[in-house]
């Protein structure tokens, strides 16, 4: 089946009592066990509402198994702490969501897990690999500068050394990028973003081979980051329109990126769909579209906060991936906790704004972004 069909039908457990088309909300936290080989319990990530979402995401990502968690960070923490321990080494690519960066620098050392940050390219990853390296964790496209990692090259390098590869695929979505098909072992999402898509859910997913997912799940059970039945149900509903939303958002983003690139008040646009982007050739190979996230840097003489205040349609908000276009200043939001020197080194300046393009009419979005620029002079 094609993705638009899988998004609607894969994993569904229809309402057999009523003939209804939708999966009911199975709200029980106490579930009979004598006639079932598996003990079912919400915190074991194995109720029917969990299974529907995990199976739908498995179909979309081309995975054997999966789990759905209470946030993207719960998914990342379950992977890292479920698969790594004292003495292990892990490589993270630069260009990570600020919360992931905070988890790494604030938590890993306490558990004896050593780490390095590598520039998002295979040569840097190879150079930092040690005998104790057990995992390579990448985010591609990365946050907030949309850096692109060559996933097939990383997977090939890691496989030869039995290193587990993990990707945060949040920005790309399973519609535009399937890392497992390029050789990655595990793929995770902050479902809070595109999977939920309506800015009203907080959730996460992990998908991969059954043996690895089982290890991640065994750890996650101890930490308790499960998603409740109602939110699983809402996530299932949202996923049915994922393909159509993401296609429209990605199309809109391409148009906006080109318009901003031509504007004299914009110093630079970061979007892997632009021919000028360093990651464009790799993104063209490994993605089926360039996504709906882009960042742009205003000229130094424009006050970024003043610009944000002049926007009338585009909403200045944290998070991303919803049907509405939102914008934020990473310095003050997603990357606030990152040390200033590190932000400066990466190019996360005060004038850098990150745009999550929605499904509104693209002319309306562009008109708003440009009117606020024209008033900047």
Query: Other CB atoms closer than 10 Å to residue 157's CB: what's the count?
Result: 18
Total residues interacting with ligand PLP, rule: CB under 6 A: 17
From 69-77, 87-95, 148-156, 234-242, give the range in contact with ligand PLP by CB under 6 A: 69-77
Does position 250 interact with ligand PLP (CB under 6 A)? The reply is no
Does position 168 interact with ligand PLP (CB under 6 A)? The reply is yes
Taking the CA atoms of the chain, what radius of gyration do you get in angstroms? 21
User: Hey, CA dihedral for 329, 335, 341, 344, is it positive or negative?
Assistant: negative
Residue nearest to ligand PLP (CB): 72
Report the candidate in 97, 119, 141 with the shortest Cα–Cα distance to residue 290.
Answer: 141
From 20-28, 49-57, 70-78, 349-357, give the range in contact with ligand PLP by CB under 6 A: 70-78
Which residues neighbour 156 within 8 Å (Cβ) at sequence distance 6 or greater? 183
From 39-47, 168-176, 228-236, 262-270, give the range in contact with ligand PLP by CB under 6 A: 168-176
DSSP string, 100-160: HHHHHHHHGGGGT-EEEEE-SSHHHHHHH--TTEEEEEEESS-TTT-----HHHHHHHHHT
Q: How far is the CB of 220 from ligand PLP (least distance, A)?
A: 14
Closest to ligand PLP by CB, 246 vs 362, is: 246
* Cα 362 to Cα 283: distance, rounded to the nearest angstrom: 23
In terms of Cβ atoms closer than 10 Å to its own Cβ (0-12, 13-18, 19+), residue 105 is middle
Which of 120, 204, 208, 291 is the binder for ligand PLP (CB under 6 A)? 204
From 24-32, 97-105, 151-159, 336-344, give the range in contact with ligand PLP by CB under 6 A: 97-105
* Cα 47 to Cα 365: distance, rounded to the nearest angstrom: 41
Q: No. of H helices and E strands in the chain?
A: 14, 12
Q: State the binding string over 98-127 for ligand PLP (x if CB under 6 A, else -).
A: -xx---------------------------
Does position 71 interact with ligand PLP (CB under 6 A)? The reply is yes
Which of 53, 73, 148, 246 is the binder for ligand PLP (CB under 6 A)? 73
| The CA-based dihedral angle spanning residues 215, 90, 319, 334, taken in that order and rounded to the nearest 10 degrees | 150
For ligand PLP, the binding residues in 333-362 under the rule CB under 6 A are 334
Closest to ligand PLP by CB, 171 vs 290, is: 171
Does position 97 interact with ligand PLP (CB under 6 A)? The reply is yes
Q: How far is the CB of 162 from ligand PLP (least distance, A)?
A: 26
Which of 49, 177, 178, 192 is the binder for ligand PLP (CB under 6 A)? 192
Partner residues linked to 165 by β-bridges: 136
Does position 78 interact with ligand PLP (CB under 6 A)? The reply is no
Does position 190 interact with ligand PLP (CB under 6 A)? The reply is yes
DSSP string, 157-182: HHHTTT-EEEEE-TTTHHHH--GGGG
Residues that bind ligand PLP (CB under 6 A): 71-73, 97, 99-100, 139, 143, 168, 170-171, 190, 192, 202, 204, 319, 334
């Amino acid at each position: 089946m094609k993705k638009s069909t899988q998004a609607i039908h894969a994993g569904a457990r229809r309402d057999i009592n009523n003939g209804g088309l939708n999966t009911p909300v199975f709200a029980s936290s106490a579930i009979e066990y004598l006639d079932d080989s598996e003990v079912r319990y919400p915190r074991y990530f194995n109720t029917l509402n969990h299974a529907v979402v995990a199976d739908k995401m498995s179909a979309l990502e081309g995975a054997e198994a999966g789990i759905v968690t209470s946030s993207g960070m719960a998914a990342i923490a379950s992977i890292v702490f479920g698969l790594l321990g004292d003495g292990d080494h892990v490589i993270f690519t630069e260009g990570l969501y600020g919360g992931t960066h905070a988890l790494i620098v604030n938590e890993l050392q306490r558990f004896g897990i050593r780490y390095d940050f590598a520039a998002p390219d295979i040569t840097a990853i190879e150079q930092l690999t040690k005998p104790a390296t057990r995992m390579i964790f990448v985010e591609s496209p990365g946050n907030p500068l949309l850096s692109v990692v060559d996933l097939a090259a990383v997977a090939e390098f890691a496989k030869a050394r039995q290193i587990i590869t993990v990707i945060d695929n949040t920005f790309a979505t399973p519609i535009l990028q399937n890392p497992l098909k390029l050789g990655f072992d595990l793929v995770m999402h902050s479902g809070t973003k595109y999977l939920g898509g309506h800015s009203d859910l907080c959730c996460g997913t992990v998908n991969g081979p059954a043996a690895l997912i089982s290890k991640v799940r065994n750890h996650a059970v101890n930490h308790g980051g499960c998603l409740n039945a109602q939110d699983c149900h809402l996530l299932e509903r949202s996923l049915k329109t994922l393909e159509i939303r993401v296609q429209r958002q990605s199309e809109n983003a391409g148009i906006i990126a080109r318009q901003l690139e031509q504007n004299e008040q914009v110093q630079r646009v970061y979007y892997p769909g632009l021919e000028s982007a360093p990651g464009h050739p790799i993104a063209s190979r490994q993605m089926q579209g360039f996504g709906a996230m882009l960042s742009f840097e205003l000229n130094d003489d424009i006050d970024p906060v003043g610009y944000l205040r002049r926007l009338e349609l585009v909403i200045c908000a944290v998070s991303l991936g919803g049907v509405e276009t939102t914008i934020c200043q990473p310095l003050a939001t997603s990357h606030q906790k990152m040390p200033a020197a590190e932000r400066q080194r990466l190019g996360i300046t005060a004038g850098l704004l990150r745009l999550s393009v929605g499904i509104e009419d693209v002319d309306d979005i562009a008109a708003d972004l440009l009117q606020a620029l024209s008033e900047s002079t």
